[in-house]
Chains A and B, each alone.
Chain A
Amino acid sequence: MVNFQPTEEQQLIRDTIAGFAQEIIRPAAHEADETGLIPSSLVQQAWELGITQSTIPEAWGGAGEIPSAFTGALICEELAWADLAIALHLLAPRLVIQPVLALGNDTQQQHVLPAYTEPTFTAGTAAVMEPRFGFDVNELATTATRRNEDILLNGAKCYTPLAAEARHLLVYARSESGVAAFLVPRDTPGLVIGEREKNMGMKALATYELTLNDCRLPASAQLNGALSPLLNRSRVALSALAVGVARAAFDYARDYAKERRAFGTAIAQKQAIAFMLADMAIEIDAARLLTWEAAWKIDAGQDTPLEAVSGATREACLAKNYAANMVLKVTDNAVQILGGHGYIRDHPVELWLRNGRGFATFEGLAMV
């Protein structure tokens, strides 16, 4: 039966994250973007909220909650409302936790998961994207080839968050049986972590290029099982993050438009501005509902990992594409509503536009 209301527990989680986002993350966002640094005290405080590690089974020291894509979407939206770069930093460990939870065997889980229940922030990450035109997660250029008992990884990756400090690195590559994920220790010969990347937005997030040159792994490094459900979780996460960024821009532009006066009235009293805001409000809700539906479908277990296009893939892809377009339009409108002031870095809207532009590019950069 149709219901648009999250459970009380989910609302409580959302409120908690929203409070943290508003009080702790948002005030740090501007400086983090300017300096490229996220205060470690903030990261530690967020870690103590437990959002990253909550889904780790009790056996490995976690809280053992069922990983809900919907709850994850709520968390993503609130964090991204405060700041996308910081959000992605805080969520990075999930890039390795969730796949290991979903696909890892006992040995792999024991090897990886306990690190993320330690009292201090532990970085983990995954390398999905590749620096080339037409990047397609279904047809990776990075290869995994068998060499006797071992696996050799070759290729280049980009946008790998926190790679330089990650305890575990999950590398996605094309194997004989399709796309697969491999746990790669950071000191594996042949793995070179490049310089920190310089991007248009998300400047506070440390991302890296990787080169893999005959990077040799034991067969046990491979996570077995289909990745499409994980990709869908990633698409839901990205959609929810996009909604958060857009909502931030909308809130700010709305408040500004009520304050700013031109030609004798608040600019919000001009239809040209008011209608932009109304449209932004509709599109944000539209994208959020599409995201929620995809998340709900994943949680309802309708996401069957059997085929490439199955279960929630359609919903997740539609939501992701929709949200990526939406966030660009909304953040651009926000800059426009602030006029010249929107172009100046004292106001955050230009940062949100720079961040928002990335969503069409991002793939596998977050996980719920």
Chain B
Amino acid sequence: MTSRWLRRYTGTQNRGINPQGFHVSQLKFYILLVPLSVLMLLPIIYIFSSAFKPPDELFAYPPRFFVLNPTLKNFTDLFSRLSISGIPISRYLFNSILVTLVTVAASILVSSAAAYALSKKRFKLKQTLFAINTVALMFVPIAVNIPRFLVIERLQLLDTFWVHVLPVLAMPVGLFLLKQFIDGIPDEVIEAAQIDGASDWWIYWRIILPMIQPALATIAILTFQSAWNNADISTLYINNESLRTLAFYLGTLTATTATGAAAVAGQGIAAAAALIMFLPNLVIFIVLQRQVMSTMSHSGLK
């Protein structure tokens, strides 16, 4: 019995990629990964822990990493607080949620429609357009901040809700991933539908979209993270405080180098706000991570 057990878990045979179960040869990887994970997690644990710290623990000396007497005070303070211009936090939160939802939904529709055309339609400029988009993958938005500002100003989008959404919808990475994924759908499926008399829009809506759900989930995560964490748009294009987002507000909480009592109050609130910023990213990713992995492998990148 023992010898069978031993053979099973300790044989010299390497279990290789994607093993079914535990094997002694994997121990070295755990020894490497566990300390590294702890290191990666420390700042995140810190966000969680600080958000629940009462003031005396936030400023304890020597500083304490973990919270001893957790309290929700930071959160109630955060929500009862008005910004300098008299906007309640809930307004920023509402803006963030609305902007993020609209951006995610719109970018999925816009990119998937374009990806469908680039993948399954025949037209002259197809190769060229895809090549342009691939070059744009390497595009560094900050490098063209200034002309972008001028364009947005010319279009009279400054200080509107749409400036949060429109500039980020064209996402070259998104189109790239979706197009590669749709390439994996056999043409026969579409031809069969066409013979049955299905229109283009019906094919797109009823066949393509349901079949590319993993890829859509990936795009949703990417867009969600960039929209939810985006403070730049509120900073650069918006002067009307009531249109700004939570990411921006958090920035003002941490940037102002207030002293004395204000700083004390600010730190706890900032920690609570940081947690509110972080959690949705985490939840969305956990829910959709399996789909992401299958986008990246199954014909995802070829």
* Chain A partners chain B: no
* Interface of B toward A, CB cutoff 8 Å: none
* Interface of A toward B, CB cutoff 8 Å: none
